[in-house]
Structure 1
């Protein structure tokens, strides 16, 4: 039984082990070490590939950062509007509180109101 499992496993995995390494690898863009190239044409091509990769990376990062800055600016503007609205509310509440305090002071300073009944005299019997 173990022999059959080993045989099946070797048949399944053998093609991937026997395939040349170059056939499985993909050309992934990135920085390459160009000093290993022997001819000037290949070295120049390698360096140009590095330059192209770096330019694309810088362009992509610049666009990403610009998008983040624009989102932050929009958020800041929204927050400014919220703060302005809250400041107006606070100002309105303070004005109402001041008016209420002034009204209370006027009531306290005003002479007592006459209700139409005769005044009470002291010691008069």
Structure 2
């Protein structure tokens, strides 16, 4: 039963493979003017569709890049605002004196000054 079904589909698949694939054809081999004109028109149609597809793809990519640029610009603005707030908060806080080794604040010195 399966062999019969496969045998029915095999001749049909050969017809699909024989279809003309769109692309640039060499039209100079055609002897008749009608066939040459048809060949040239086919090339023109193929090139126009290819160009239209490329323009559409390019505009989509440009739009996506512009959206990403806008998102990044807003992120940079938010980060600048956060840095400015942190710098302003840092200026308002009193700075602890630093020991000579400049690694840790001299907490002992602050405690002695308070006494």
TM-score range (shorter-chain normalised) is 0.5 to 0.7
Higher-Rg member (1/2): 1
Q: Judging changes above 3 Å, is the alpha-carbon distance between structure 1 residues 70 and 23 closer, same or farther for their aligned structure 2 residues?
A: closer
Mapping of residues 100-115 of structure 1, within 5 Å? 100-101=93-94
Name the structure 2 match of 1:75: 68
Q: What's the counterpart of residue 41 of structure 2?
A: 48
Tell me: CA distance 1:73–1:23, structure 2 relative to 1, closer, same or farther (3 Å): closer
- Structure 1 84/45 Cα, relative in aligned 2: closer, same or farther at 3 Å? same
Q: Does 1:87 align with 2:94?
A: no
Stretches of structure 1 that go unaligned for 5 or more consecutive residues are 1-11, 106-111, 114-125
Normalised to the residue count of structure 2, the TM-score between the two structures is 0.68
Q: TM-score w.r.t. structure 1 length?
A: 0.63
- Cα displacement string for residues 71-101 of structure 1 (whole angstroms, at most 9, x for unaligned residues): 1110110111111001100000011111114
Unaligned stretches of 5+ residues in structure 2? 1-6, 98-112
Q: CA RMSD in A?
A: 3.0
